[in-house]
Amino acid sequence: MSYNPRKTAERIRALRIAKKVSQIQLALDLNLSRDQIAKVEGGTSQPSAELLVLLSDYYAVSVDYILKGTTKNAAVADDLREVIERLSQIKQRLS
């Protein structure tokens, strides 16, 4: 699996939603701005190495998973794929 910036943004958003955390709460927890979170999740800004490590620790997933979607934990991957699929469906309905 290769790096895809759009998919990375979707995974970061899906992780937040799966944890039931708002962008504001995530920003507070990581000492960042909500705007910074929104830009990364929206794909208009790429996460820095520092942010990738913070997100990895916060969500207890690997940086590799955030960047490429690879994981050794198949159950987590399945759950996140489902969340991403649901988000895509919602996005299509809103379009």
* pLDDT for residue 20: 95
Tracing tokens 């994981």 back to the chain, one arrives at 71
* pLDDT for residue 17: 95
* pLDDT for residue 84: 87
- Helix/strand/coil percentages in the chain, nearest 5: 75, 0, 25
Task: With a cut of 90, say whether residue 74 has pLDDT above it.
Answer: no
DSSP 8-state symbol, 48: P
DSSP 8-state symbol, 44: S
Task: With a cut of 80, say whether residue 58 has pLDDT above it.
Answer: yes
Residue 60: φ, ψ to 5°: 55, 45
- CA 52 to chain CA centroid, nearest Å: 10
* pLDDT for residue 16: 96
* pLDDT for residue 72: 63
